[in-house]
Amino acid sequence: MFQRNEKNRRRRFRVQLPPNLMLKATLNGIAYDVIEVAELSMVVTAQHVINEDGVCTGTIEFSDGRIQEISGQVGRLSHLGRVIYEIEGITAPDVVKEQRRLLRKFPTVRDPSSLLGGFKPEIFRPEID
């Protein structure tokens, strides 16, 4: 019988953010809106992210005003934006806190992707261009 690995499920949990509630990330000195955030990855509004050998560093500002240093690998361009994966600096409690904020603001919405008009993005598989 297939057993689910709770650690993997937790690490792949992601929250999509509606346009008016996006987080802000500054990567290598350039500010981006964060479309989606997870413990190991995020998607930013960019066609290209400046990086050094595929690595970008910077900060993310959470909705509570807290700024956290992050670093990650620049991944492929998705239909939402540029994927940054293997991120260090974002924790599961950070992601859950953002989800709770959305559920408090939109109490009748249980699936945050419905805030994007029901659009559900594909599951991202990190790939370097």
Confidence of residue 48 (pLDDT cuts 50, 70, 90): confident
Please name each of the domains of the chain with its CATH number.
6-112 (2.40.10.220)
Query: Under the phi-then-psi rule, with left for phi > 0, alpha for psi from -120 to 50, and beta for the rest, what region is 86?
Result: left
Confidence of residue 10 (pLDDT cuts 50, 70, 90): low
Span 91-100, average pLDDT: 91
| Greater model confidence, 3 or 7 | 7
Radius of gyration of the chain (CA): 14
Please say if the pLDDT value at position 62 is more than 60.
yes
Please say if the pLDDT value at position 28 is more than 80.
yes
- 47 Cβ partners below 8 Å, 6+ apart? 77, 82
pTM to 2 decimals? 0.74
Q: Which of 5-19, 23-37, 38-52, 75-89 has the highest mean pLDDT?
A: 23-37
Summary mean pLDDT of the chain: 80
Convert the pLDDT of each residue in 105-120 to its tens digit: 887 766 555 555 444 4
* Whole-number pLDDT of residue 123: 41
* Whole-number pLDDT of residue 78: 85
For residues 42 and 60, the answer to whether their CB atoms sit within 8 Å is yes
